Amino acid sequence: SQQGEEDPQALSIQEGENATMNCSYKTSINNLQWYRQNSGRGLVHLILIRSNEREKHSGRLRVTLDTSKKSSSLLITASRAADTASYFCATDLVYNDMRFGAGTRLTVKP
């Protein structure tokens, strides 16, 4: 069964704007990861945040985790056309069992 659910399903913004995607999950987790998938390609790992962390940064990416609300957000600042892709959150339930959501499709217009 799916664990993470991304919101919104689709997001369209102009280049230079910030993009925020949310992920909600149902059960306790060890960590949460965000991945990007360009059309027709495999997933690429972006960032991992552990259950005892609340915020993490990587370049233009900022991820927050609220375990009390069972939710996470991914913020991409100063978006570029190359950021156009689908973004997935993935949570682990038990040993090495990762569950992905259906993704948010981000379109950045030049």
Partner 1 sequence: DTAVSQTPKYLVTQMGNDKSIKCEQNLGHDTMYWYKQDSKKFLKIMFSYNNKELIINETVPNRFSPKSPDKAHLNLHINSLELGDSAVYFCASSQVRGRRYYEQYFGPGTRLTVT
What is the C-alpha R_g of the chain? 13
Contacts of 89 (CB under 8 A, 6+ apart): 4, 6, 23, 25, 32, 33, 34, 35, 72, 74, 100, 101
x/- mask, partner 1, residues 45-64, rule CB under 8 A, reads x--x----------------
To the nearest whole angstrom, how small is the minimum distance from the Cβ of residue 96 to partner 1? 6
Of the listed pieces 13-21, 41-49, 66-74, 76-84, which binds partner 1 according to CB under 8 A? 41-49
x/- mask, partner 1, residues 90-109, rule CB under 8 A, reads --x--xxxxxx-xx------
